[in-house]
Amino acid sequence: MTSPDPQAEGAARAARFLELLTTDETAATELLEGLSEIRDLVFVGAGLTAVARTEARTLPPAQRAQASTRQLHLGALRDANRSNPEGLRTWLRKAGEEILLIRSQQAIAERVHAADQEWTALRAAAEASGTAAASDAATTT
């Protein structure tokens, strides 16, 4: 039996799948195994794709381009398994792993940005106090 709103149900399942991927991989696999209708699998994939594309937009340009390329490969995997539920489950697992990768890249980018901001603030404070010139003189040869 399908939901009256398959798109909303697919998005909810996608969110649940992502949650399980980070906490209980066995339960994540069971969630996918519990979906036997190709239509249901595709709607979960649509939910995952929406999350991946939205979250990838926040990445730095190089990582965003790489994520876009990986999305193209995931689309090819989906198309190759259009009528194969097991193949679609593989696609969903890889799509979920892609989102986890994007999230880890976001975390790294945020840490780098924070470190850059801290360095800039320290540099500005040093220049304001006059210690930057002495520091530059000591490091040049």
Given a cut of 90, whether residue 133 has pLDDT beyond it is: no
- Please check whether residue 115 lies inside any domain of the structure: no
pLDDT score, position 140? 55
Q: For residues 21 and 131, what is the distance between their CA atoms, to the nearest angstrom?
A: 50
- Please check whether residue 122 lies inside any domain of the structure: no
- Please check whether residue 31 lies inside any domain of the structure: yes
- Please check whether residue 125 lies inside any domain of the structure: no
- Please check whether residue 86 lies inside any domain of the structure: yes
Domain with 88 in it: 6-103
Query: DSSP letter at 83?
Result: T
pTM confidence score? 0.78
- Please check whether residue 116 lies inside any domain of the structure: no
pLDDT digits (tens, 9 = 90+) for 79-111: 999 999 999 999 999 999 999 999 999 999 888
- Please check whether residue 82 lies inside any domain of the structure: yes
Q: For residues 139 and 141, what is the distance between their CA atoms, to the nearest angstrom?
A: 7
